[in-house]
């Protein structure tokens, strides 16, 4: 199994809703990442987990809450989002958090906040 899966593929939510995005990999990777990507822009790093511990939080608002329950699973909990949070949310994993390692990306969850 050499892929990163993300669910759901699409999500529409109101500003008062609570929802979660899920990311899963079974490649034995120990580094996992959340990115936000706006249309026609590069991905922006949000969070990095290394060995299930949060190692980087790129000044992301608290309405985004990451969770890494185990080495295969990464969640992003969403609460009280704003319309400007509408974007493609990408998950990625790599064998380790080291500079030469390839990141493997999931297909993303397209989020629309109304």
Partner 1 sequence: AQSVTQLGSHVSVSEGALVLLRCNYSSSVPPYLFWYVQYPNQGLQLLLKYTSAATLVKGINGFEAEFKKSETSFHLTKPSAHMSDAAEYFCAVRGRSGGSYIPTFGRGTSLIVHP
Give the residues lining the site for partner 1 (CB under 8 A).
4, 40-43, 45, 48, 50, 55-56, 90, 92, 97-100, 102-108, 110
Provide, rounded to whole angstroms, the least separation between the CB of residue 16 and partner 1. Answer: 28
Location of structure tokens 């809703």: 17
DSSP 8-state class, residue 11: E
Distance CA 7, CA 11 (A): 9
Distance CA 57, CA 14 (A): 25
* Residue 27 CB-density burial (10 A; 0-12 exposed, 13-18 middle, 19+ buried): middle
Nearer of residues 16 and 102 to partner 1, judged by Cβ = 102
Per DSSP, the three-state class of 29 is coil
Nearer of residues 15 and 58 to partner 1, judged by Cβ = 58
Provide, rounded to whole angstroms, the least separation between the CB of residue 78 and partner 1. Answer: 19
Provide, rounded to whole angstroms, the least separation between the CB of residue 52 and partner 1. Answer: 14
Nearer of residues 17 and 67 to partner 1, judged by Cβ = 67
């Amino acid at each position: 199994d050499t892929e990163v899966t993300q669910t759901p593929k699409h999500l529409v939510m109101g500003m008062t809703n609570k929802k979660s995005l899920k990311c899963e990999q079974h490649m034995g990777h120990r580094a996992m990442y959340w990115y936000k990507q706006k249309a026609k822009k590069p991905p922006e790093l949000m969070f990095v987990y290394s060995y299930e511990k949060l190692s980087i939080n790129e000044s992301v608002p608290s309405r985004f809450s990451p969770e890494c329950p185990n080495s295969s699973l990464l969640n992003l909990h969403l609460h009280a989002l704003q319309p400007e949070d509408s974007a493609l949310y990408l998950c990625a994993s790599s064998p380790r958090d080291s500079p030469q390692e390839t990141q493997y990306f999931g297909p993303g969850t397209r989020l629309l906040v109304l």
